[in-house]
Amino acid sequence: METPLPKILSKDCIVSSKFVELGSIAWQDAHGNTRHWDCASRTGGHGHAVMIIARLMPERSLVLVRQFRPPAGKFCLEFPAGLVEPGEDLTSAALRELSEETGYTGKVVDTIPFGFSSAGLTDETIAGVVVEIDSEHYRDCPPQAHPEASEDIEVLLVPETTLRHFLQERLADGDGTDAKLLVYAYALSYLNQKS
């Protein structure tokens, strides 16, 4: 007898706000049992996000942002990021968000496929876009950010070689950090140890 594959039976909205919906999913496990799971989704077709790994060249410094995140209850360090608007392509969304949050623009050199940001909690996906920024372009004209009225964003330039140490210091001082940035920092530091 063939074991059935898990499958979604239904998804119902419990409560919805302007940006987020709490849903209840009924699903069937591999043994045929019906189970339930709560999840969060973005409303209005905004299920995809983009983070930007922006590298200032030739210095090899990362452009990061620090902003207050109410769910975390603290300032968090992150890659610039935002939602991909319906009908917008990934690279356009990345360059738009980078410019809005930091004032920088640059050349897209790579993209990272969509993956789930926290598959046990939400169906939101996030992709990455790697952008290289020519620092000479900003030598005489510093970038001017254009954040939304609700955003209070501090732009930080951090050398890749000191990223892990920088994040450890900021965490010790009480800041939070996005897990994707932490993983990047630790992976980078392990790779640098091997070379």
Supply the pLDDT for residue 1: 60
d(CA 46, CA 150): 18
**CA angle 104–157–51, rounded 5-degree value:** 60
Task: Report the largest interatomic distance among the alpha carbons of the chain, rounded to a whole angstrom.
Answer: 72
Burial call 42-80: b when 16+ CB within 10 Å, e when fewer: beeebbbbbbbbbbbeeeebbbbbbeeeeeeeebbbbbb
* Predicted TM-score of the model (pTM): 0.89
- pLDDT at position 45 is 62
pLDDT of 195 higher than 70: no
Segment 57-72, tens digit of pLDDT: 999 999 999 999 999 9
CA dihedral sign of residues 63, 68, 73, 74 = positive
Options 3.40.50.12780, 3.90.79.10, 3.40.50.620, 3.30.1180.20; CATH of 48-194: 3.90.79.10
Any idea where the domains of the chain sit in the sequence? 7-42, 48-194
CA dist., res. 138 & res. 129, Å (int):
21
Handedness of CA 136, 181, 112, 189 (dihedral sign): positive
pLDDT at position 155 is 95
CB–CB of 126/113 below 8 Å? no
- Closest by alpha carbon to 105, among 92, 95, 94? 95
Assign residue 43 a region: left if phi > 0, alpha if psi is -120 to 50, beta otherwise? beta
CA atoms of 59 and 133, how far apart (whole Å): 10
Tell me the average pLDDT of the chain.
92
pLDDT number for residue 189: 87
pLDDT in tens, 87-112: 899 999 999 999 999 999 999 999 99
CA angle 106, 108, 109 (to 5 degrees): 125
State phi, psi for 171 to the nearest 5 degrees.
-65, -40
